[in-house]
Structure 1
Amino acid sequence: MAASVRPILSYLFFIEFFVLTLAVNAGWMSKEQYLLVWNNEMQAIFAAVVSFWFGHRTFGRREQT
């Protein structure tokens, strides 16, 4: 169970980004509402999650060679 926490949170961040982008493009919410939810702090967290996964893969490859 403990090993699945990080992947689940990562998937939730991707789903949140997708749903918010879809909501703006479909006209379900305004750009101002989008920016209230998807602010600089959330963007930083999202960037950290993406960097963790892709950075982890890169360093994992270096250790194998």
Structure 2
Amino acid sequence: MLTLLGSLLGFVSSAFPDLLKLWQDHQDRRHELAILDRQMEQMKLGHSQRLEEIGFEADIAESQALYKHDSQPSGVKWVDGLRASVRPVITYAFFLLFTTVKASALYVLVSEEGLTAIQALPQIWDPETQALFAAVMSFWFGQRALAKARGK
């Protein structure tokens, strides 16, 4: 019996280093897979950052292309002056038109409807006018602030 137990113990003890080696190999492979997964995540992150950089570069190039025509004078003074005045003139014209329409609406409400100015003002400053006002103010003054808020 002791001989059988001794031979069994000898067999197990001789196989123990091999079992330990198999277990260590399994752990090493698991560790290497974890490293490869992390490397792939870093590569994906690097690619997404590069895509963001490309997007930023495209935005910059688009802005430069949009304003390129304004930076190169034509050589004819009145053409350059007319070209430079288009946006301000249209802005002032639409502001004058808007003010005229709202003032005439206030006049009609006060003179023909018999309302006081305090009663008539909320009626001409309706939600559509508020939305239009907010859009215009955001366009003129909030474009860069919104771009920064969005992370661009």
**Shorter-chain TM band:** 0.3 to 0.5
> Relative contact order: is structure 1 or structure 2 higher (C-alpha 8 Å, sep ≥ 6)?
1
Q: Which has the larger radius of gyration?
A: 2
Q: When the two structures are superposed, what TM-score results if normalisation uses the length of structure 2?
A: 0.25
